Chain A
Amino acid sequence: MTSELNVKLAELKLRNPTILASGFLGVSGKLLKRVAMVGAGAVTTKSVGKEPRKGHPNPTVLEFDSWMMNAIGLSNPGYEKFKKEIKIAKEGQVPVIANIFAGDPEDFAFLAKEMEDAKADAIELNISCPNLTPGECLGQSIGKNPDLSYEVIKAVKKVVKIPVITKLTPNVDDIKVIAEAVERANTDIISAINTVGPGMVIDVETAKPVLANKFGGLSGPAIHPIAVKCVYDIYKTVKVPIIGIGGISHGKDAIEMIMAGASAVGIGTAIYYRGIDVFKKVCDEIMEFLDSHGYSSLEEIRGLAHRD
């Protein structure tokens, strides 16, 4: 029996449920194309803003045995230069999701329109980055607030026709409240979760925090259970399709996320653990699982963990 890996997420059609998560390799169109060529069902760009940003000095990324910590600091060349990268990424023949960040609803709407004009297949709203300079109203400063989140999505939905994905932070009291707000604002898809924390690593020899930014968001296998719980809660609360992200390295992790309610999964940190072709590996493992357990499609197992 051949299992079916095709997925439909709102208007987005994917050949398989694995999506390159934002922040990994998405600096250039050619790298995004490479990720598509080695198996991803869709690719997401690095978060793009209005103006060029250099981000934080190094070290910006650390890895322990079961987690990665990063504080890149939203480095990007600005939307204008980045539009060309999207055009190149499209050569990979899979949907290209443009991840954008801004400080207010107007700028979000402006960037979303620009990315739609650049032929992005969907917009992902970064209202969940935790690596901010104190006082900066970006990322999770927005995503922790249901009213602000609502305003951002409303503004974006007004100007674009392509699907809008809202990426949520787990660093809130109750993610269900945020999920409800973004659904009310008509987001087409929810992706969850962004990195956890922030956290800090101090080098004890020098008594200095290792990341130049001092703190950074956690990703990787260690946060997987948190991500599964968030997706489970979101699925229970809202009807919009969910992209489950957080520590997915193997087919089993993806299955778990889908059973929690996700329609597709984001993969990032696992590129380090399993190589750039992790997308194909995870797909093969999902397929194997479905076949060996007698399931004929992903639809059959979606949200299965919610049944009595």
Chain B
Amino acid sequence: MEIPEVLEIKSIMKENWKTKTFFFYKNIEAEPGQFVMVWIPGMDEKPFAVAFTNPLGITVTKVGPFSSRLHQMGEGQKLGIRGPYGRGFELKGQKICIVGGGYGIVPLSFLAEKAFSKNYDVTVIVGAKTKDDLFFLERLKKSKLIITTDDGSAGIKGFATDALKDQIEKENYACVYTCGPEIMMKKVFKICEDYATECQASLERYMKCGFGVCGQCCIDDLMVCKDGPVFNSEQLRKLTEFGVFERDKSGSKIYFQ
């Protein structure tokens, strides 16, 4: 049954100046990296990574009309949820590194908490434009936390990928997990390949059905909604479209800058 279940918003948490977490009156079972389709009745529906499961929480950064409308909503108001969908991250080894760019840290924080509960040795690299864009640092405090900002207002001035290079040079990670802008993830993957380290990346494409029938979210011959959104090194190596182009609502190719 793939139809939105309408849920009331239980509480709303402000994470930073443009990011809020919406909690619902429902607990779900989901793996870090899986997503739900969120329906604003009468408007549109979009995929969001599961940020919390007990209760279900989604963390939304205000970027366009849909997220702006979500940000106007209050406790007790209703949204439709279907899912969780897709394949999530798979924990490997005992020592891992997580690299998140922007709001990519949402599913990765959920992953980090799962890794903490299994006593993993976790390094987290969070990249943001500026200090005010950071969030979820509290959730990540059990990790070795490295922050990078483009303007140097917090942590190291520079990019998350530079910090990863320093880390991977001296540490031996069983796997590197990444989510964020695709160009960043492509760089993360390249670094992992250079250092023969397994990588898992959570990709994003415009989505319609969410359950693998329409094909809209294709990347090469895979569907992000069903075969992904998390892909491993073996898959990433074969994806000729990774970091190159995505498709818009019409299916036209839009090349990454």
Contacts and interface: CB of A to CB of B under 8 A. Distances in A.
Contacts of A10: none
A64 B1 contact: yes
Contact of A57 (B43, B212, B223): B43
Nearest to A49: B250
> Chain B interface mostly helix, strand, loop or mixed?
loop
B86 to A, nearest CB: 15
A53 B216 CA distance: 13
Contacts of B2: 61-63
A203 B41 contact: yes
A268 B213 CA distance: 8
A59 interface: yes
B39 A31 contact: no
A61 B214 CA distance: 8
Interface string A18-36: 0000011111101101100
A62 B214 contact: no
Interface string B106-127: 0000000000000000000000
Contact of A26 (B42, B215, B221): B215
Q: Which size class do B's interface residues fall under?
A: 35 or more
B249 A54 contact: yes
B215 A61 contact: no
A7 interface: no
Contact of A53 (B3, B4, B221, B250): B250
Interface in A27-81: 27-28, 30-31, 33-34, 46, 52-55, 57-65, 68, 70, 72, 75-78, 81
Interface in A78-120: 78, 81-82
A212 B249 CA distance: 14
B150 interface: no
Nearest to B220: A30
Given A33-B221, A210-B3, A276 B212 contact: yes
A260 B46 CA distance: 42
Contacts of B41: 203, 206, 208
A59 B214 CA distance: 12
Contact of A58 (B37, B211, B251): B37
Contacts of B43: 57, 212
B215 A54 contact: no
A205 B42 CA distance: 12
Contact of B250 (A52, A64, A210): A52
Interface in A122-155: none
A58 B80 contact: no
A305 interface: no
A46 B215 contact: yes
Contact of A54 (B3, B45, B211, B250): B250
Contacts of B247: 27-28, 77
A34, A76, A203 pick with most chain B CB within 10 angstroms: A203
A98 B249 CA distance: 20
Contacts of B250: 52-55, 75-78
B90 to A, nearest CB: 21
Contacts of B44: 57-58, 212
B209 interface: yes
B4 A24 contact: no
A72 B215 CA distance: 12
Contacts of B42: 206, 208
B6 A206 contact: yes
B101 to A, nearest CB: 25
A205 B249 contact: no
B78 interface: yes
B213 A269 contact: yes
B155 to A, nearest CB: 37
B37 A59 contact: yes
A82 B250 CA distance: 11
A31 B78 contact: no
Contact of A62 (B3, B46, B223): B3
B218 A31 contact: yes
Given A54-B250, A55-B249, A272-B213, A203 B80 contact: yes
9 contacts: A27-B247, A27-B251, A28-B218, A58-B39, A59-B4, A59-B37, A64-B3, A210-B80, A272-B212
Given A25-B215, A27-B216, 7 more contacts: A27-B218, A55-B250, A62-B2, A64-B1, A72-B214, A77-B253, A203-B6
